[in-house]
Amino acid sequence: MRSLLAVILVITCNFCFAQQLQQQVIKKNSIYIIKQDPVKGFHSDYILFVPEKTALHTWTYLLVEPNNTGKLSDDIEMHKMAAIDLASVSSVGNNISTELHIPLLVPVFPRPATDSLLYTHALDRDVMTNTAALYNRLDLQLLAMIEDAKNRLHDMHIPVYEKIFMNGFSASGTFTNRFSFIHPDIIQAVAIGGFNGELILPQKGINGISLDYPLGTNDFTSMFKQAFDIKTYQSIPQYIYLGKLDENDAVQYDDAYSDKERRIINENIASNVQDRFLKCQEIYHSNNIHPIFKTYENVGHWTTSAVNLDIIRFFQQQIKLSK
C-alpha cells in the first residue's frame, strides 16, 4: 500500500511540477539589442522584444516586422532608435506582440542618405542587386537574424516554431510582401498594409511585358538562384489591407521605383493607389492566391485601433489553427 501511495505521490508531484512549468511566464517587457554578427550572416543589429506574459517552456511563434524609419539618414543610431520604438512602443507589430504574448524581432537595417535610391526598408531592386556587405541580400541577413533570435529565445526557455509570423506597414509592408515571395517556406502567416496598392505579382509578365523583380517573377531564378515557389506561397494565410483614403503613392518616386518600373505599373496595372489595389487583388485571385483583402473606410495612410484589432485577431486565429 505504501509503495502504491508513493507512486501516486510521485506522479502527482511530477504533474504539478509540469503544470507549474507550463504556467511560468515572462514577468515584464524585455528588450534586447543584438549586435551585428557577420560570422552568423548579418551585418546590422536587430531588436528582440519579449513582452510580459510570454509563456516559458511552451511553443510559440516569433513575429518579425521589418524596420521603417520613414526617412533617409547616414546616422545608424537614428535608425536604431526608430527600430527600438517600433519594437517596444508604437507599431502594429508591438500591438500584436503584447496582445498575443509572442516575441517580436525588428532588424536595424540602414537607409542611407548618401545613396537615396537604395530603398533598403522596402527591399527594392537597387538593394537586392547591391554587393556591399552591409546591404547585400538583406533577405538572407534577416533569415540569419531570425535563426539567431530562435537560438536566443530557446536559451530563455521560449521555444519558437520554425515558421514565423510577419507583419509590415507602408515600406515595411512592401518589404514583407517581397520577402514572403522569396522565402514562402518560412512564413506561417503574414499581414501587410499601407503598401501603395502595389503588390509583387505572382507571374512573369503582363500584357506581353516582362515583370522582373520587384514587379513580378520573371527573373526570380537569376536573382535568387531558385524559382518562385507558387504552391507554397498559395498556402500562406494573408491579411492585406488598405485605407480607402490612402493616396500615399511611392510608385511615383525614384527611390522606390525606376522610370521603367513606374511606367509598367502606371500603364498596365493602375496609376493610382486604390485602382491598383483592386487590380492586384484580381491578379492574385486569378493565380489561385486568396488572401483576406480588406479596404477600411475613412482611413488613410495610418492604422486605427479597429484595424489593429482585426490584425491581432487574424494572427490569433492562426495560433488557434496551429494547435
Query: Above 80 in pLDDT, residue 58?
Result: yes
Q: What is the pLDDT of residue 9?
A: 32
Query: Above 80 in pLDDT, residue 323?
Result: no
Task: Write the burial class of residue 229 (CB in 10 Å: 0-12 exposed, 13-18 middle, 19+ buried).
Answer: middle
For every residue of 292-303, DSSP letters joined together read EEEEETT--SS-
Residues 194, 168: Cα–Cα separation, whole Å: 9
Indicate the DSSP class of residue 117: T
For every residue of 64-82, DSSP letters joined together read E-----SS-BS-HHHHHHH
Grid cell for residue 186 = 518560412
3 state DSSP class of 30: strand
Residues 249, 24: Cα–Cα separation, whole Å: 46
For residue 153, what are the contacts with CB-CB under 8 A and spacing of at least 6?
48, 50, 62, 103, 159, 160
Q: Is the dihedral of CA 286, 289, 290, 293 positive or negative?
A: negative
8 Å CB contact between 276 and 270 = yes
- For the chain, what is the mean pLDDT? 93
Query: Above 90 in pLDDT, residue 7?
Result: no
Residue 285 φ/ψ, nearest 5 degrees: -60, -40
pLDDT band at 322 (very low <50, low <70, confident <90, very high): confident
Q: What is the pLDDT of residue 23?
A: 56
Query: Above 70 in pLDDT, residue 52?
Result: yes
Residues 192, 238: Cα–Cα separation, whole Å: 8
8 Å CB contact between 280 and 226 = no
Q: What is the pLDDT of residue 14?
A: 40
Query: Above 70 in pLDDT, residue 15?
Result: no
Domain segments of the chain: what residues?
Answer: 2-322
Q: What is the pLDDT of residue 90?
A: 72
Q: What is the pLDDT of residue 189?
A: 98
For residue range 154-201, list pLDDT tens digits in order. 999 999 999 999 999 999 999 999 999 999 999 999 999 999 999 999
3 state DSSP class of 245: coil
For residue range 112-167, list pLDDT tens digits in order. 999 999 999 999 999 999 999 999 999 999 999 999 999 999 999 999 999 999 99
Q: Which amino acid makes up residue 320?
A: K
Residues 319, 323: Cα–Cα separation, whole Å: 7
Q: Kind of pairing, strands 238-243 and 292-296?
A: parallel
Question: What number is the average pLDDT over the span 204-227?
Answer: 97
E strand residue ranges, the chain = 30-34, 46-50, 63-64, 104-107, 164-169, 187-193, 205-206, 209-210, 238-243, 292-296
Q: Kind of pairing, strands 46-50 and 30-34?
A: antiparallel
8 Å CB contact between 93 and 134 = no
For residue range 232-283, list pLDDT tens digits in order. 999 999 999 999 999 999 999 999 999 999 999 999 999 999 999 999 999 9
Q: What is the pLDDT of residue 17?
A: 35
Q: What is the pLDDT of residue 148?
A: 98
Query: Above 90 in pLDDT, residue 206?
Result: yes
8 Å CB contact between 141 and 43 = yes
Q: What is the pLDDT of residue 42?
A: 98
- Between 4 and 240, where is the model more confident? 240
Question: What number is the average pLDDT over the span 206-216?
Answer: 98
For residue range 291-308, list pLDDT tens digits in order. 999 999 999 999 999 999
Grid cell for residue 80 = 536604431
> Hey, which CATH number is domain 2-322, 3.40.605.10, 3.40.50.720, 1.10.10.10, 3.40.50.1820?
3.40.50.1820
Q: Which amino acid makes up residue 294?
A: K
